[in-house]
Structure 1
Amino acid sequence: MKAIRPLATAMALAASAISAISAMTTIPAAHAATEPVKNIVIVSGSFVDGSGWRVIHDILTQKGYKVTVAAQPHTSLDDDVAATREILDQQVGPVVLVGHSSGGAVISAAGERAKVKALVYVSALLPDVGESLAQVIGSKPAPSNSVRPTQDGHLFVDPARFHDDVGADLPENRTNYMAISQVPATVATFNTQIWAAAWHHKPSYAILSTEDRALSPDLQRWMYQRAGAKVTEVKASHLAYISQPDQVAKVIDDAANAR
């Protein structure tokens, strides 16, 4: 009987230690699930760079967010997704991923990362798996089509039409400069079938620009409804993030704070 008592005591101590270790390992997991989102990663669409997001960057930074704009090579959809994933890998903690225009396809693919907690689409395209940007755009053409091809397989917006079709609610001196400093996209990017659509299983939010002449508002509404996104309609052009930064920033902030 004397030998049994020390053995029982040792077993009880071991069980207590295992219980303590188990508790220590479950606490961080529970904490991670409620960790607040403080990282915002923004993906620009075709034909523009990231400079137009400056005001939204400033609004969100003042709210305590770390904002990063993922520069896009605009050479292929694979390259754009890879560039976005590289930025995502640099973030510490959960992320809200924001995409404008064709950047919607990029965040849909790159958004499969576990750290991406929500997706925000701004006047954006949301192709499903097996669909291309060109295919989706062709299903509901825009009110105006100013996109022109080049002989080497690139695309650009006719500079003479940039203001009226892309940013009619912005001063002409601004859109005129954007028109002559475009980042050309490639035909291949628009013809590539997307291989992932994170909006199927991640919370999605969307800005519908009702005065958009570059991307059909009806198409936006249909894509957003298909994705089950929470939609905010904004009276704005395709460049809603420049002309209505407060409203767009609010949607991003709401996505980050949703529980």
Structure 2
Amino acid sequence: MSKVQNVILVHGFWADGSCYSEIIPTLLAEGYEVIAVQNPLTSLEDDIAVTKRALDHIEGKCILVGHSWGGFVITTVGHDERVAGLVYIAALAPDAGESMIDLMSKYGSPSPHFQEQNGFVWISKEGVDEVLANDLSEERKALIHVTQTTPSVSLTEVKASSPAWRDKPSWYILATNDRAVPPDLQRDMSQRMSAKTVTVQSSHFPMISHPQEVLEVIREATASSQ
């Protein structure tokens, strides 16, 4: 059985496609076709449309990889017949009718490092350091801060539709030191999905701090989902 050759990478809040830069060169060297989408983070519909355009650009089956909010996106786009499997990285995996607030509010209060302005949410330097990237280098933290893509406040309230993880093979990378998406929430979602789960001692960006573990999961997904 041949492996799936296409991998589409979907980022989350305050990030962009470059958050996958630690794993993209290896995937390319191993012969995968890779697209790292650039979510506008303006609405769920807009983010879904970007990922669907990436699907239209490839040939054959693909694995969708979603980090953080990107999990919300792949949960919907994953219904596409071209999607063979789903990989969640410290990601939201909502069920039908659930919003980000519904999921997150059970596990704590929003960070004081979030700053709403004109309907979008910025994260401070302290927030990057303490919430998103506490185990990354100072240089990488600074890069995340200055390149942040600010999400629309509306994204926290939008409700998910029927989830693709009910019908597609799913993997979950659980970050035990995450201060953005609580590890207990990650654990509950991954168990609800019956996802194959790999645990890493990481902050919110395992694909930066633990790229080899993330690559292993993606390789397994491409080999098992054809």
Contact 2:8 2:37 in 1 (8 A): yes
Shift in Å at residue 192 of structure 1? 0.5
Match of 2:197 in 1: 231
TM-score (norm 1): 0.83
Query: Which secondary structure state, in structure 2, belongs to the residue aligned with residue 58 of structure 1?
Result: helix
Q: How has the CA–CA distance of structure 1 residues 146 and 61 changed in structure 2, closer, same or farther, with 3 Å as cutoff?
A: farther
Q: How has the CA–CA distance of structure 1 residues 97 and 196 changed in structure 2, closer, same or farther, with 3 Å as cutoff?
A: same
Structure 2: runs of 5+ lacking an equivalent: none
- Matched residues in 2 for 1:44 and 1:227: separation? 20
Give the total of aligned pairs.
225
- AA in 2 matched with 1:157: I
1:96 to 63, 66, 74: 63
Contact 1:234 1:240 in 2 (8 A): yes
1:78 to 27, 31, 45: 45
Shift in Å at residue 152 of structure 1? 1.4
Query: Which secondary structure state, in structure 1, belongs to the residue aligned with residue 143 of structure 2?
Result: helix
Residue 125 (1) aligns with residue 92 (2): yes
TM-score (norm 2): 0.95
1:175 to 134, 137, 141: 141
Shift in Å at residue 164 of structure 1? 2.0
Contact 1:204 1:227 in 2 (8 A): yes
Shift in Å at residue 50 of structure 1? 0.9
1:203 to 169, 172, 175: 169
Q: Deviations over 1:93-131 (max 9, x none)?
A: 110000000000000001110010000000000111111
Structure 1: runs of 5+ lacking an equivalent: 1-33
Contact 2:114 2:124 in 1 (8 A): yes
Q: Identical aligned pairs, as a percentage? A: 37
Shift in Å at residue 146 of structure 1? 4.4
Residue 44 (1) aligns with residue 3 (2): no
- AA in 2 matched with 1:237: S
Q: How has the CA–CA distance of structure 1 residues 127 and 150 changed in structure 2, closer, same or farther, with 3 Å as cutoff?
A: same
- Matched residues in 1 for 2:112 and 2:46: separation? 25
Match of 1:69 in 2: 36
Query: Which secondary structure state, in structure 1, belongs to the residue aligned with residue 85 of structure 2?
Result: strand
- AA in 2 matched with 1:175: K
- AA in 2 matched with 1:200: R
